[in-house]
Amino acid sequence: GESVGLHLPTLSVQEGDNSIINCAYSNSASDYFIWYKQESGKGPQFIIDIRSNMDKRQGQRVTVLLNKTVKHLSLQIAATQPGDSAVYFCAEIIYNQGGKLIFGQGTELSVKP
């Protein structure tokens, strides 16, 4: 079935480096894509989203890139900090399917001090 998936299950980076977390999706009808951060034992926390008709959106230290040609989404975190260590999920929303979120596999980011 249709799903959103990730290339890398784990990512380890050095503090201060930039991190890139990738996500592949298969549904061309997605309206929005969202990145969430989930710390251990907690609920997901919204990071940034991007509408399907955009290819880039920037936030504070984060940038989301969308490549619809290859159905690829990425989250870039600049100057990664220990507090960024968490699991990151991409999710897609398809409004004509009730607007529910479909979550990807997740990538665990570990930041070394």
- Positions in the binding site for other proteins (CB under 8 A): 32, 34, 36, 41-46, 49, 89, 93, 95, 98-106
Beta pairing class for 56-58 and 4-5: unpaired
Task: Report, in Å, the least distance between residue 74 CB and other proteins.
Answer: 18
Task: Report, in Å, the least distance between residue 16 CB and other proteins.
Answer: 27
Q: How many other CB atoms sit within 10 Å of the CB of residue 53?
A: 8
> How far is it, in rounded angstroms, from Cα 4 to Cα 24?
6
Task: Report, in Å, the least distance between residue 52 CB and other proteins.
Answer: 12
Closer residue to other proteins (CB): 50 or 111? 50
> How far is it, in rounded angstroms, from Cα 35 to Cα 25?
13
Closer residue to other proteins (CB): 37 or 80? 37
- Quick check: helix, strand or coil at residue 84? helix
